[in-house]
Amino acid sequence: MTLSVPRVLAFVLFSSLGATAALAASYDGQTNRYTLTISDDAKIASVEANLWLTGDYLSLFAVQQLPTLKNGQADLIENMQITAANGKSLKWKNEGEGEFKTAGDQRVTVSYQVKLEHDNYHWDAGIEEVAYHTDEGFMTIGQTLLLASGEKMEGPIEIDVKLPAGWQAHTPWQRLGDSNRFAVPNRRELLNNALFFGTAQAETLHAGGIDLTLVLGKRFQKAKPLFTELLSKQLQSYQQLFGADPQSKRYLVIVNEGLDDGGAYSNSFSQLISEDATDANRVIWGYIMAHELLHFWNGLSLTPVDSREEWFKEGVTDYLTTMTLARNGVDSQEQLFRRLENIPRRYLFARLGQQQQLPVRAAGEEKQKHRQLVYGGGAITALALDIELRKASNDKVTLADLMRSLFTEFGQPGKRYELADVKRHIKTLTGTDLTAFFNKAVESEGMFDFAPYYLEFGLDFDNFYYDEVYVRLDANATEQQKARFNSSFGKP
């Protein structure tokens, strides 16, 4: 459940007195064209890309280094050739970790093949964030197969996908005509998206201001009504919560069988579910799906400056997912209480079990290692913040109001927020400075005392160490506290 962001390459330009450095040639105004061919046995992907290379690097982004694949996904590339526009072959050097150096600032054609053997390796973030085969085809993230101009990519992009007979291409890109040719607005949407090629059935639904295509592996076909019900209800809730559509209007969701996990991309997400999807086990797969969907607003439209606000991206998403699943009746009240126990259990486990004493904001830098602190610490802060906002406004302002306010300013292309912006919006909405609250919740190394916030929701919280955690309705809750609970989670 991570968001993949291409690494930023730093470049330094040198010039010296007396000698005038040759100016780099500038972009030629042509479309960048890719052809991606999947072999009939789906063991090889052949790529030919004609693109303007800004700087000297062709890059494979978001490689995950493994003990057995030193350069991660890039080690599955072979037979690479680069030629200049005049047909001359260009020298290149593999500098490792997906960086290939050649003579840039010109139009080049690069061709190579990728061995589709990603299923054979263990990837930390999960195979659903890399590439895998099913009986019905092949899922890949764009960046697993496609090299791009490393520094930046200028101009429009088109990609032609050639597939084995009978296969269809499911992508979140705009299809050009009836063919498998697609227009892609930028490098991010080319690389940072999940794609499915094959015979699996797909269905498009319209909800929450977007068109969503659902590709379901055959094991999950019979549960299609469960998926569409969940997706429709949650999308509508998120649209109301944020008061706006997400930035992108077209999404692709791919569900197949595998270890339960999911990854959210620019206009798509990739999910694996370990058994038949039922009403009963929706408690896991439905939660992952609802969480990843919410990232289309909080995470992909509303984007933090850096990893220090991972807690806001993941924790607020977890809290709002919990809230809306209960309000929509997807979760029973009993299930809601289990979730309200899991949130602090994660945080207590990080602090007391794993002895992670770093501040919640600092934990975002190594998100997988500090997963409990980022998600649990983030969600407990979101719950407490929901109360702080109510206390500061005679219950007029809630976390949903804050999210709407932030979305208005930051839910725009290129805009990014950080904690100071969150505080500024709170000040505008309530007149209150919550710096002291955030210092305790996300900037200190100590234990954040969150139990009083449960009481303010009319809930009793008890724990023994980190492994026993109980939440129940407080018999002595005031009318105000009960009203707060109802307003966030629906009537008990």
Interface residue list for Zn ion (CB under 5 A)? 1, 314
Q: Which is nearer to Zn ion, 289 or 429 (CB)?
A: 289
Q: Which is nearer to Zn ion, 136 or 314 (CB)?
A: 314
- Report, in Å, the least distance between residue 463 CB and Zn ion: 25
Q: Which is nearer to Zn ion, 1 or 252 (CB)?
A: 1
- Report, in Å, the least distance between residue 170 CB and Zn ion: 22
- Report, in Å, the least distance between residue 378 CB and Zn ion: 10
Measured in whole angstroms, the distance separating CA 353 from the mean position of its chain's CA atoms is 28
SS3 319: helix
- Report, in Å, the least distance between residue 291 CB and Zn ion: 6
Query: CA–CA distance from 152 to each of 54, 255, 379 (Å)?
Result: 6, 32, 35
Query: CA–CA distance from 470 to each of 327, 381, 382, 454, 466 (Å)?
Result: 21, 18, 19, 11, 11
**Token pair belonging to 274:** 């370990």
Cα Rg of the chain (Å, integer): 24
* Sequence letter at residue 80: M
Q: Which residue is nearest to Zn ion (CB)?
A: 1
Residue for token pair 């850096």: 306
Q: Which is nearer to Zn ion, 1 or 210 (CB)?
A: 1
> CA nearest 453: which of 476, 420, 429, 481?
481
- Report, in Å, the least distance between residue 298 CB and Zn ion: 9
Bridge-based pairing of strands 181-184 and 99-102 is unpaired
> CA nearest 63: which of 115, 125, 11, 108?
125
Alpha carbon distance 489, 492 (integer Å): 8
Q: Which is nearer to Zn ion, 76 or 293 (CB)?
A: 293
Q: Which is nearer to Zn ion, 187 or 291 (CB)?
A: 291
- Report, in Å, the least distance between residue 4 CB and Zn ion: 12
- Report, in Å, the least distance between residue 294 CB and Zn ion: 8
Alpha carbon distance 270, 253 (integer Å): 6
Q: Which is nearer to Zn ion, 51 or 293 (CB)?
A: 293
Task: Return phi, psi of residue 366, to 5°.
Answer: -120, 80
